[in-house]
Amino acid sequence: MAISRSKDVAAGEYLFHQHSNANSIYIIEEGVLMVERSSENGRRQIMSFMFPGNFVGFTHNDFFEYSVQTLTPARVLECSRHDFIRLGEAIPTLKKNVEVIGNKVMLGLFDQLFALGQKKAHERLGFLLQQLKDRQTISGGFSFELFMTRQDIADYLGLTLETVSRAFSRLQKEGVIKIQSAHHVEVLDAEQLKQLAFSN
pLDDT (tens digit per residue) in 78-92: 988 877 767 666 667
Contacts within 8 Å (CB) and 24+ apart, 130-133: 130/193, 130/194, 130/196, 130/197, 130/198, 131/49, 131/197, 132/49, 133/187, 133/190, 133/193
Delimit the domains of the chain by residue range: 4-115, 119-198
| Residue count (the chain) | 200
With a threshold of 0.85, does the pTM exceed it? no
Angle at 130 between CA 126 and CA 132, to 5 degrees: 120
CATH superfamily of 4-115: Jelly Rolls (2.60.120.10)
Whether 130 shows a pLDDT value over 80: the answer reads yes
Topology (CATH level 3) of domain 119-198: Arc Repressor Mutant, subunit A (1.10.10)
Contacts of 165 (CB under 8 A, 6+ apart): 150
Write out pLDDT tens, residues 169-181.
Answer: 999 999 999 999 9
